Amino acid sequence: MSATNFKTENNTYRKLIGNGLTYRIPRFQRDYSWSEDEWEDLWADILGILQEGGEPAHYMGYLVLQSQDDKSFDVIDGQQRLTTLTLVVLAAMKNLQRLVNDKTQAEQNQRRIDQIRQTYIGYLDPVTLVSRTKLTLNRNNDSYFQTYLVPLGHLPQRGFRASEHSLRKAFEWFEKRVRDYAKRQGGDEGMALASLVETMSDKLFFTVISVTDELNAFKVFETLNARGVRLSSTDLLKNYLFSVLHKEAEHAHEMQVLEDRWEAMVTRLGSESFPDFLRVHWISRKTFVRQAELFKTIRSKVTTRAVVFELLRGMEEDMDAYLALTNPEASAWTPELRGQAQKLRMFSVRQPFPLIVAGHRHLNAADFATLLKACVTISFRYNVIGSQPTNEQERVYYAAAQKLSNAEINNAAQVLEALKPVYPADEAFRSAFADKIIRTTNSRNLRIVRYILCALERQLNNTDHDFESDTFNVEHVLPQNPGEGWPAFSDEEVEAMAYRIGNMALMAKGANRDIGNAAFAVKKPVLAASAFELTRKVAEDNADWTPERIAARQKNLARLASTVWRVAQLSD
């Protein structure tokens, strides 16, 4: 993004709202949704800057604004905060109006109301009482805001949307807090109310990011989200689709249908990222696209009402498969399919998702099961053990998904053949496995080691063990922190060898605890008595435990592994 269409600065609330600029929440932006939890947090922040000796300033986070002229801005992200701060100002004005009505310093307090309105709220026609405000809300909320809240009149309660009730409740909530605060100050209540607004406007500040169009706004979202700042790129995508419908013609029913179906999808996704799902959906049907280019691609391809609803139907069709991959436990898939999806999640591998989603659409049940299992095997070989770069792998999966979606291939055997470039050959896999180090100091890696050892045990003697069971642990034969009795290992070798797969074995919980960091001679009879054959063989096959014996055992396990994680059609 060039500097000409992207600007960042820190601004106080006063500078934002009190200098003749206007702000508009786009027609199709999300409705007002804050509730008491967020109101409480904001009020606590405000009190923190009001109290004597309190914060000199309080940071309110990012605002993302879009403007062509630096005078009128669309609020792309931050609408909930800006709306609520406006309600706080209106609540202070309502309390000043109460003082005027009670004839308490009526002239001074009326002047305060007029000044605050002019500075922070906007122009109110003295004849019609129709407002021209600095902040305009979205299509569902602006009428209630302008008609009832801004004029400080009676607030009707029946026949309105839930979000309009939320606006009213927020105003009433802050009106009470502001009133109680002003009364606690003692003395001139009107002065306390005016001081609250002025202090708040000077001490609350934002990082304001201004862009010139939606594409730059989307890039801002993706950049900040990558840095851990969660912004609503999902809303931006929705706004664009709404704008396509609006440009062709205003169809209220279609707008409502899109709104309802979009929100249903967002709700179903829960904590999952909507842009991540949309990218998987798009790649599975259309063209390969990087996350940073997703919005640009959508904007260039989705340009008519028909295409908007085609996109919507496709996303709805693909969501079941996507959610089955990200949250297998809640899916309607068979236990076998759920188990394969759980393995992908454990591996933290998502590159096959577009292909799997395409396979779910186009393959019969047996072929889909074959594909999903093959993707797990490839992920284990390529990602978990091989730790190979994912860029090329992603493109291979995409190409296979395209062929499947375009009916160039139509069965599992043909799909698997297309995946051959990312299936490490047996010799390469055995070599990578023989050298693999997996540090079990985090829970994910520990689960993977348990999974590997249980699968190898099953292959050796056809005994099934649940790798999630709490009846056994992973024993590091050479302890992670060895005491006396390990003279064969230097400090450097302990670091290098303790987390080799060849140094790890399954052991019943009690036995594992009993032998702790003991020498191999102490561990050996306990290992020999284990119910796990691979663990017994550590004792049976080794007079002592040295770096050479760890390497030899891991090489043997690698040969066994190449028979477990294997796609027959693709193997040598």
Rounded to 5°, angle at Cα 281 from 369 and 267: 100
Total Cβ atoms within 10 A of residue 12: 17
Distance CA 456, CA 475 (A): 15
Angle at 71 between CA 66 and CA 75, to 5 degrees: 30
272-317 pLDDT, tens digit each: 788 899 999 999 999 998 887 888 888 889 988 899 899 999 999 9
Question: What would the 3-class secondary structure string for 272-307 be?
Answer: CCHHHHHHHHHHHHCCCCCHHHHHHHHHHHCCCHHH
| AA letter at 445 | N
pTM attached to this predicted model: 0.72
Q: H or E stretch including 416?
A: helix 412-418
Cα distances (angstroms) measured from residue 42 to each of 59, 232, 283, 294: 11, 20, 41, 34
- Angle CA 17–219–12, to nearest 5: 20
**And the tokens for 567?**
């796609």
Contacts for 350 with CB less than 8 Å, ≥ 6 apart? 276, 280, 325, 344
If one counts every other C-beta atom within 10 angstroms of the C-beta of residue 275, the result is 19
For residue 229, the model assigns a pLDDT of 45
List the beta bridge partners of residue 23.
Answer: 73, 135
Per-position DSSP letters for 313-363, written without gaps between them: HHHHHHHHHHHHHHSGGGS-S-HHHHHHHHHHHHHT--TTHHHHHHHHHHS
Token couple for 316: 């709805």
Provide the pLDDT for residue 183.
Answer: 94
Q: What is the dihedral of CA 84, 110, 47, 204, to 10 degrees?
A: 60
Burial letters 476-515, b for 16+ CB under 10 A, else e: bbbbeebeeebeebeeeebeebbbbbbbbbbbbeebbeeb
Rounded-to-integer distance, Cα 467 and Cα 447, Å = 7
How many residues in total does the chain contain?
A: 572
Which pLDDT score is estimated for 124? 61
Q: Please check whether residue 99 is in contact with residue 190, taking contact to mean a CB–CB distance below 8 angstroms.
A: yes
**Per-residue model confidence (pLDDT) at position 51:** 87
* Residues of the chain scoring pLDDT < 50: 1-4, 228-231
Closest by CA to 535, choosing from 445, 457, 437, is 457
Q: How far is it, in rounded angstroms, from Cα 455 to Cα 467?
A: 8
Q: What pLDDT shows up at residue 550?
A: 96
Q: Is 142 exposed, middle or buried (0-12, 13-18, 19+ CB in 10 A)?
A: middle
- With a CB cutoff of 8 Å and minimum separation 6, the contacts of 354 are 280, 281, 283, 284, 397, 398, 401
H or E element, residue 7: strand 6-12
Query: What pLDDT, on the 0 to 100 scale, is given for residue 1?
Result: 42
Beta bridge partners of 210: 7, 65
Compute CA 436 distance to the chain's CA centroid, rounded to the nearest angstrom: 31
Radius of gyration (C-alpha) of the chain in whole angstroms: 32
